[in-house]
Chains A and B, each alone.
Chain A
Amino acid sequence: MPWNQNQDNNPWGNKPKGSSGGGNKETPPDLDKVLKDLNDRFGGFFGGGKGGDNGGSPEVSKGMLITLIGVAFVAWLASGFYKVEADEEAVVLRFGQHVDTRSPGLNWHLPYPIETIEKIPTLSVQRLTIGFRAFADGRTRKMNQESLMLTKDENIVDISFVVQYKISDIQKYLFEIDATQAIQTVRDAAESSIRAVIGSTLIDDVMTDKKAEVEAETRIGIQKILDAYNAGIRVTTVTLKDVQPPERVSKEFKDVASAREDKERAKNEAQAYANGVIPNARGEAKKKILEAEAYAKEAEDRAIGEADRFNSLLQAYKKAPEVTRKRLYLETMEEVLAGADKVIIDSKIAGQVLPYLPLNSAGKVEVK
């Protein structure tokens, strides 16, 4: 009967029957005998009252006692129920020794002090911020002590990052390290390894294209340390949140960025100029060649035309040379002299008169 095993209300009494394992070996050999004696005496205690001369009152107190013990025992058993949340696992310790690991749901363990349980959130991802702290209301606070670090070229860079990790081995997590200092352990490992990584990287690399490498190397570094500690923690990601120059030199760093922009702008402006000048020259060149081609065509066609005309004229001329010659001469002179001012001077006096010809300002000869 259960209450028999528990009648002295000493939980240790359960031990020889209720539990197994290493604890048993430490049980003094005479415990069973002690319990048996106790049982006998206890029976005698109640039994003595039953047949005694005290009338009904011992009967009543005995019944009440049994009920009381029964209720207490049931309450004790009921205290062994516990709930494991969806993201947790529970470790069952029997007299301090790990005997079982339970998954989420409603579970029962042998109540205190035989077994105790510890719930560990093994399934949820924990997040740790380094270089800043985030508060529940969304505010963040910089931690310059943590975030300023020396680079390989002895510059100082300002880095904030986030480490995410999970408990991967509940046994190691609980029994190899001090679980209450797990966060501190991850933080220490993270700070130590990122500074080793940044300490061997140039500031420009950190700030531009080596971020992914820094993240990967840091993650590996943290994991190495945690594994060496048998921490049972797996780092899932390391994310650089902010990589910046320290505040005191940020103006100069910004100027470098704008200088880089200036450089590109100067190049683009020059390119725009080039894009204007070259097509223009190309057009000009094309125009020149086309003009030359036009000139060539014109010159050749003219030559052909004029030659043709001369040929025709020559043929006509050959038929009547004298007349044609005269005609052409007179026609031409007629045409030429028609529009000209004419002064006709006998060649005999020409030598004397010519120097005195009255010339007006327009150069015309005034004949009076």
Chain B
Amino acid sequence: MSPKQLLTGVVIAAIFIFVSRSAFIVDQRDQVLVMQFGNIVSDGAITNPGLHWKLPWQNTVVFDKRLLASDDLPNEVITKDKKKIIVDSFTRWKIIDPLKVYQVAKTRNRVESRMQDVVGAKVREVLGQHTLHEIVTGGEGGDKRAALMVSIRDLADAEVANLGVKVIDVRIKRADLPAENSDSVFRRMKAERQRIAKQYRSEGEEAAKEIRATADKESKFLLADAYKQSEIIKGNADAKATKIYASTYEKDPKFYAFTRSLEAYRKSMATQSRVVLSPNSEFFRFFETSK
């Protein structure tokens, strides 16, 4: 190999190294700072995606541009009505000023944990001014909960502005009672259910009694009405019969009395009667004499 060829090889290698050290890609999801000996040389962060150039000795620091998720640690909150709840929240945030983030915290993780501290403090501060009922149910109208989350976010956001990040959203994921309070809730739930069960059974008895009594009443009504009707029917019939008898017997009351008496004798003395007779009676008119 001639010195010329060697020189050419070296130049090619140098250019290759130069180019590969100078080009860098900015992803659509990222924002990039260009650093030189620990100082930021780019004019703010590079946010437009594509191929970019820098000097070979410069280096880049990449920050995310997207909405970032951060799961906060559960906070123990004493509410306004002195009840303890465990609040688990989550935060969505963005790095809006990578320069500041780099200056204040260097890395994303460190700025995230600072932000979480702020959010946690605001969660305790805001929720501490409200009652458990308001926090859990959202108060009257049910929109209190949303309003609380907005005010936590705004307070936290104001405080993290100097970190170069923006809090987009803070949301209460869970607001639970600690174990000792849950116990009393469970006891209350038990008592309440026992009350409801008892109520159901009593209502059943009440309804059953009413149904039975109504049935009894109705059947008595039916029988009474039937008795009434039957008496009316019988009475009418008796009246008719009496009329018939009267109009007939009135033709000869004496003869009626006679025949009716005979009929009565026949019926009343039908069996084994004991009769003490006088021989002077009409029947024995011819008993002792034939005249």
Q: Report A's interface with B, CB cutoff 8 A.
A: 8-10, 12-13, 15, 19, 21-23, 26-28, 34, 38, 41-42, 44-45, 48-49, 93-98, 113, 145-146, 148-150, 152, 154-156, 174-178, 181, 184-185, 188-189, 191-192, 195-196, 199-200, 225, 228-231, 245-246, 248-249, 252-253, 255-256, 258-260, 262-267, 269-271, 273-274, 277-278, 280-282, 284-286, 288-289, 291-293, 295-297, 299-300, 302-304, 306-307, 310-311, 313-314, 317, 325, 328-330, 332-333, 335-337, 339-347, 350, 354, 363-365
The 8 closest A-B pairs by CB, nearest first: A281-B219, A296-B237, A292-B230, A285-B226, A263-B204, A274-B215, A303-B241, A266-B204
Given contacts A196-B145, A281-B220, A317-B255, contact A10 B20 (CB under 8 A): yes
**Given A22-B50, A154-B136, A192-B171, also A335-B12 (CB < 8 A):** no
A341's partner among B137, B247, B274, B283 (CB-CB below 8 A) is: B274
Question: Which A residues lie within 8 Å of B48 (CB)?
Answer: 22
B114 within 8 A of A: no
- Interface pair A345/B278, CB less than 8 Å apart: yes
Cβ of B214 < 8 Å from any Cβ of A? yes
Q: Once the chains bind, are B173 and A289 in contact (CB under 8 Å)?
A: no
Chain B residues with CB under 8 Å of chain A are 2, 4-5, 8, 11-12, 15-16, 19-20, 23, 25-30, 48-53, 64, 66-69, 71, 90, 92, 132-133, 136-138, 142, 145-146, 168-169, 171-177, 182, 185-186, 188-190, 192-194, 196-201, 203-205, 207-212, 214-216, 218-220, 222-223, 225-227, 229-231, 233-234, 236-238, 240-242, 244-245, 247-249, 251-252, 255-256, 258-259, 262, 265-266, 269-280, 282-284
21 A-B pairs in the complex with CB atoms less than 8 angstroms apart: A12-B23, A23-B50, A26-B52, A44-B8, A150-B177, A152-B137, A178-B66, A195-B175, A199-B138, A231-B67, A269-B208, A277-B216, A285-B225, A288-B227, A289-B226, A299-B234, A299-B241, A329-B282, A340-B269, A344-B278, A345-B278
Once the chains bind, are B29 and A174 in contact (CB under 8 Å)?
Answer: yes
| Contact in complex: A249, B233 (CB < 8 Å) | no
Of all chain A residues, which has the CB nearest B138? Answer: A200
Give complex CA distance A44, B271 in Å: 167
The smallest C-beta distance from A56 to any residue of chain B, in angstroms, reads: 16
Residues of B within 8 A of A248 (CB): 186
- Whether B136 contacts A38 by the Cβ 8 Å rule is no
Number of A-B contacts (CB under 8 A): 356
CB–CB A156/B186 < 8 A? yes
Q: Which residue of A lies closest to B263 (CB)?
A: A332
B178 to chain A, nearest CB (A): 12
Which B-chain residue is minimally distant from A9 (CB atoms)? B16
Label chain B's interface by main secondary structure: helix
In the complex, what's the smallest C-beta–C-beta distance from A253 to chain B, in angstroms?
Answer: 6
> A255 touching B193 by the CB < 8 A rule?
yes
20 extra interface residue pairs, beta carbon distance < 8 Å, beyond A23-B51, A175-B28, A339-B269: A98-B49, A145-B174, A156-B186, A185-B69, A199-B175, A248-B186, A255-B193, A266-B201, A270-B207, A288-B226, A288-B230, A293-B233, A296-B234, A303-B242, A311-B251, A328-B262, A329-B282, A339-B271, A340-B275, A343-B275
CB contact between B226 and one of A231, A258, A284, A344 (< 8 Å): that residue: A284
Is the CB–CB distance between B275 and A314 below 8 Å? no
Complex contacts, A264 vs chain B, CB 8 Å? 204
| Contact indicator B133/A154 (Cβ below 8 Å) | yes
Indicate whether A95 sits within 8 Å of B51 (C-beta atoms), given known contacts A297-B237, A303-B245.
Answer: yes
Q: Could you say which residues of chain A place their CB within 8 Å of the CB of B182?
A: 156
Cβ of B15: which chain A residues have Cβ within 8 Å of it? Answer: 8, 10, 34, 38
B contact residues around A199 at 8 Å (CB): 136-138, 145, 175
Which residues of chain A come closer than 8 Å to B138, judged between CB atoms? 196, 199-200
Q: For B197, list chain A residues within 8 Å (CB).
A: 252, 255-256, 258-259
Give chain B residues whose Cβ lies under 8 Å from the Cβ of A148: 176
- Neighbouring B residues of A228 by C-beta, 8 Å: 169
Instruction: Select B30's contact among A15, A49, A96, beta carbons within 8 Å.
Output: A96
CB of B230 within 8 A of CB of A291, answer yes
Q: Which residues of A contact B132 (CB under 8 A)?
A: 154
